[in-house]
Chain A
C-alpha cells in the first residue's frame, strides 16, 4: 500500500480526520504567515528604529514592538486553535479506526483468527494506532504549519527575485529527491520494528501464561534470554532506523548550505550585472535560512510520519482483511419449529495441510441427539465447528432445516443454533453480565428473573446460592475467579437462556470436582431435552444416551447408527465400548 492509498483508505475509514480540515488548514496558514512576519518586523525595528538617521527612535521601536507582540500573541492563539482542532479530529478518527479494526477481528473466521497470534491483533488495535496518535498530536500540526511557513517564505523570495528563488529551489531539488527516495527505506525499517514488536508481545504473553512452569524448572534465565534476544533485535533495528532518518535529515541541513551558497553566487553575479541590489542579496541569505528551517522540520517529521504510516497501514490491513465466512447476499429464512441437521459430502482442508474431513455425510432428524466419538485428531471438533459455521467446508453442504447454512443470516443462525464450547469462557463482569450475551434485547430486571428461572430449570439454584453474590458474583478476567466447572455451569445457563432449536455441544474433557461434575451432567441433560443436539462426546456414557452415534477416524465417518446397533456390530465402537465398560466397572 503506497502513501496515497494509505491516506485515501485511512480517511475513508475515519472521516473525522478530514472533517473541518479545510478550516484547520486555513488557520494554519494564518499562523504560518504570522510567524513569517516576525523576522520581517525585527528587520524593520533595526533599520527604522535603532539605526534611524536621527539616532535611536524609541517611539518607532515601541510601536513596532507593540505590533510585533500582537502578531506573536495572535499567532500563538491561532496555533493553539489549529493544534486543538487537529487533536480533536485525530482522536475521534483514531477511535473510529480502533473500533473498525476490533469489529473486523470478530468477523474473521475462527480459522483466520487462530492462524494469527491473538496478541498481534491486540497490538494492532493498541500500539499501532498509538503511533498514529503521536503523529497527529505532536508532529502533524507542526508539520502543516511548517510546510505553510516555508511556502509563505518561498512566495516572499519570488517577489524579491524570481531568479534567485529558482536558484534556491534548484539547489534543494536534488537533495529533496534523494531524501524522498530514502523515505520508503525508512518506512521499511520502521515496519520491521513494528513487526518485531508484535513478536515480542506475543512471546511475552506466552511466558506470562507459563510463569509457574518457568519458575518450577528454574529456566528463568533461558526464558529471559529469549525475550532479551527479541529486545536486542528491536534495539538494533531502531538504531538502523535512526541512522537512516538522521542521514535523511542531514541532507536537508546540507541543502541549506548549498542553497545559501548558490544564492550568494548567483545573487552576486546578478548584482554585478546590476540586476539586483546588495540589500536583496543580503536579504536572501536570511530568507533561505527562514525557508530551510521549517523545511528541516518537515523532513524530520516525515521520518516520524513513516513510523506512523506503518502503524496506520497495519490497522487498515486489519480493517480490510477479507471475511471469507460472509453473510449471504440473498438470505433464506429457516423453517419455523423444530429443525434437523444434514451433513452432505463435506470435505475440509486447512490451508495446504492434509484433508481433515474426507467426505462426511450424515443427518440428524429434528429433536434427535447425535453423539460424535473419535480420537483427538479424528476430525470431530472440526465437524462441530462447521455445523456452527465458524468456517465453511472446502466442499459439500451443511444444512439446517434443509437450508444451506451459507444462505442463513448470522443473526438467525446464532439465535436458532447455540454452541457450548469445551472451555467455559466467561467475560469479565458478573454472572448476570455474562448471561446478557444470551438475551441482548431483554432489560436487566426481566433478565434477572429469566436467569433465576433458568438456573432453577437446570437444577442449579443450590449452586448459585453457594456463590458469593449469586447472579452478581464477579467472575474475573476470562471467568478465572470461578473454577473450570463453575464456568461451564454459567455457559450452560447462557445457552439455556438463548433457547435454541439446535445445540452443538463440545463436551468438556477436563475433570472437575465431583460435586460440580454431577451438576454439570444434570444441567446438560436438561439443556438438551427436546432439542436437536450434536454432542462431541469424550465420555462413552454420553454416547450411550444419544439417539445416534457417529464414530470418526482420521477424518472419515467409520460407523453411524443407534448405540445399541453399533455395540452389536462388533466394529470399532463396540471395541471402544467394551474397553470402557471394563475400566469403569472394575
Chain B
C-alpha cells in the first residue's frame, strides 16, 4: 500500500523546465489511456493521409474528367478506361468523391469519439486522485485548507488539466503529414525549405512568450476562483444566519468584491489570449506569402520550377493543420500545467496510509491503552508537523472510563486523535495492548473514535451505521438502542422506514443531538475494544447522555472509554480523570482526589455547578 502511494505521488511529480513539464503532462495522459489514445492517433494518421488523397483526387477529377467533358474531349485516366460518356464519368467521379468523404467521416467519428473517451479517462484519473486523497490527507491539512480547494480540484482543475489533450490525437496523427511535407520541401530547395520551416521556431518563440505572460495570470485567476467558491460555500452554509441578520446585502457585497476581482483577473487572461490566437492564425499565411516571394526569386533564377513553388505553397497549407494543432495544445498548456500541479500538490500532501499496521492484536475483552512520554503533533501536510502535546504519559486500564478534562485548546482532542492513530506521536510512543499503535493491524476493529461533529451523509440509516460493512440488522438495532436513538429510527418515514429511511445531506433532518447519537451507534455496532468520545455527546440531552454512558458499562463487558466532556455529571461517571492544560498533563486521579488537590481542576469543574445553583436564585423562584 505504501509503495502504491509512492507510485501515485511519482505519477503526479513534475520536474525540469516548463517544456519538460509540459511533455510530462502529455506523457501522463498517454500512459493513463494508452489504448484509446493509440486508436485515436492511428485514425488521425489515416485521416491525414486521406486529406492528401482528397486534394489529389480533386485535382485528378478536374484535369481528367471536368475539363475534357466541358471541352468535348475524351475522358482520361482511370475514369476514361471505364466510360467515355461525360455524364456517367462525372457521376462516377462524384460517387468516388462521396465515397472518400464517407470513409473520412467514419475516421473522424472514430478519431474524435475515441479521443473524447481518452480525455474522459484522464479527467477521471485526476478526479480519482483527488477523491483518493480525501482520507489520505492529514486531518491538519483539512483544517488548514478550505473545502473550496478540494472541490475546485475535483471540478475546475481536473477539467482544465485535460484541455490540451482534446486536439492531441489529431495533432500527433497529422505529424505524418507534416513530416512528409517537410521532407519534400527540403528535397525541393534549401531556401524555400528554410523559409517554410521558419514558421516552426516562430511558433515556439510566440508560445514561450505567451506562456511566460499568461501562467502567472492564470494562476492568480484560479486562486481567485477557489476563493469565490469558498465564499459562496460559507455564505450558503450560513444561509439561515444571513437571513436572521438581514445580512443578504452585505453578503452580496462581499461576494461582489471577489467576483469583480475574478472578473478582472479573467479579463487579463483573456486579453493576453486574445492576441495569441490571431497571432498564431496569422503565422501560416504570412509564411506562405514569404514562400511566394522567395519562390518567385528562386524560380526567376531557374533554381526551381513554377510547379515546385505552387506545390510548396500547398505543402505549407498541409503543414498548417498540424502546426495549428500544436498551437492549440501549446496554448492550453500553461493553464493546464497550473491545474495539473494543483492536483499534484493535493496528491503529494496525501501521505496518510490506510492500513500501515501488520501486527495482529487479538480481539479479546476491552483494550489497554498507554502513552509513554508521547509528543503528539498536528500535521497540515504542507509544512513541518507542529507539536501540540508534550511528554504525555497515561494509561487506560481495560474496561475503565477515563475523562479528559481541560479548557478549550488544552490539547484534549490531539490526545484523543493520537489514541486513534489520527495524529502522530513524533516522540515517545502510544501503545494498544502493549503494541506500538503504528504497527497494529486493522486498528479500526479495536478503536472507535466519535468526533464532536457527527458525520451523517445522504443515505439510509443502515448505510450511515454500517458504512457499507456487513452487520446484521439485529446488531444495528442493538447499537441504535445502546445509543438511545432506536425510538427515533423506528419513527422515521423518509423514502423508507426504520433502517431504510433516508437521512439527508449532513443529517439536516435530524437535530444536533440525534446526529451525535447516530454517530455513537455507528461506533457501538463495531463493538470496539476502545471507545473514544471526543466531545461526542455535547448536543445530546444530559439525561440521555447519562443513560448512554451508564449502559456502556452496565454488563461489565463494555469497552475501555476515553471521554472528553464538559458536563460535570458525565465527568463524575468516570473511574479516572486526567486534567490537561496547555499540552501537558497537570494531574490524574479520581474526581474526588482532583477536586481535593488540583485547584485548576476545581475551578474548571465547579464553574458549572456554581452556575446551576446560581440560576434559580437569580430567577427568584424555588428550585
Contact = CB atoms under 8 A, between A and B. Distances in A.
Contact of A206 (B131, B488, B506): B506
A53 to B, nearest CB: 12
A103 B65 contact: no
A388 to B, nearest CB: 6
Given A38-B285, A76-B282, A425-B238, A235 B120 contact: yes
A214 B455 contact: yes
Given A88-B267, A122-B232, A208-B142, A106 B449 contact: no
B134 A518 contact: no
A180 B546 CA distance: 68
B519 A213 contact: yes
B135 A583 contact: no
Interface stretch (B21-29, B66-74, B573-581): B66-74
A310 B243 CA distance: 30
Contacts of A276: 70
A185 interface: no
A161 interface: no
A446 interface: no
A137 interface: yes
Interface string B576-617: 000000000000000000000000000011111011100110
Interface in B287-324: 288-290, 292-293, 295-297, 299-300, 306, 309-310, 313
Given A38-B285, A206-B505, A422-B512, A541 B616 contact: yes
Nearest to B121: A235
B516 to A, nearest CB: 9
Contacts of A512: 538, 566
A419 to B, nearest CB: 4
Interface string A389-412: 010000000000000000000110
16 contacts: A45-B292, A87-B267, A102-B252, A106-B248, A113-B240, A126-B228, A201-B151, A211-B135, A213-B449, A213-B455, A243-B116, A243-B117, A268-B86, A278-B71, A414-B246, A477-B146
B222 to A, nearest CB: 11
Contacts of A241: 116
A205 B230 CA distance: 12
A83 interface: yes
Given A213-B450, A250-B108, 17 more contacts: A49-B296, A68-B285, A91-B266, A117-B458, A122-B236, A127-B155, A212-B422, A213-B522, A214-B467, A217-B467, A238-B120, A243-B116, A246-B112, A484-B538, A517-B608, A541-B612, A563-B621
B70 A278 contact: yes
A222 B246 CA distance: 42
A197 B155 contact: yes
B244 to A, nearest CB: 4
Given A80-B274, A509-B513, A579-B543, A69 B289 contact: yes
B184 interface: no
Contacts of B132: 224
A80 to B, nearest CB: 5
Contacts of B147: 205, 208
B113 interface: yes
Given A238-B120, A257-B101, A220 B146 contact: no
B69 to A, nearest CB: 5
Contacts of A72: 282, 285-286, 289
B300 to A, nearest CB: 5
Interface stretch (A225-233, A335-343, A447-455): A225-233
Residue of A141, A209, A478, A545 with highest tally of chain B CB at under 10 A: A209
A133 B252 contact: no
Contact of B105 (A203, A204, A253): A253
A29 B126 CA distance: 41
Residue of B97, B132, B249, B491 with highest tally of chain A CB at under 10 A: B97
Contact of B58 (A125, A247, A260, A418): A260
B149 to A, nearest CB: 10
A264 interface: yes
A212 B66 CA distance: 77
A351 B608 CA distance: 42
A15 to B, nearest CB: 15
A242 B113 contact: yes
A553 interface: no
A569 interface: no
A470 to B, nearest CB: 17
A545 B618 contact: yes
Interface residues of B, number: 185
B512 A122 contact: no
A518 B289 contact: no
A122 B229 contact: yes
Contacts of B469: 219, 222
Nearest to A546: B619
A174 to B, nearest CB: 13
B263 A95 contact: yes
B194 to A, nearest CB: 17
Residue of B113, B541, B616 with highest tally of chain A CB at under 10 A: B113
B470 to A, nearest CB: 11
B468 A219 contact: yes
Interface in A480-539: 480, 483-486, 491, 494, 498, 509-518, 521, 525, 538
A210 interface: yes
Nearest 5 interchain pairs by C-beta: A257-B101, A242-B116, A414-B246, A210-B455, A218-B444
Interface in B499-543: 505-506, 508, 511-514, 519, 522-523, 526, 535, 537-539, 541-543
Given A79-B281, A494-B245, A509-B511, A216 B449 contact: yes
Interface string A96-107: 001100110111
Interface string B439-451: 0001111011111
A411 B250 CA distance: 13
Contacts of B453: 209
A127 B505 contact: no
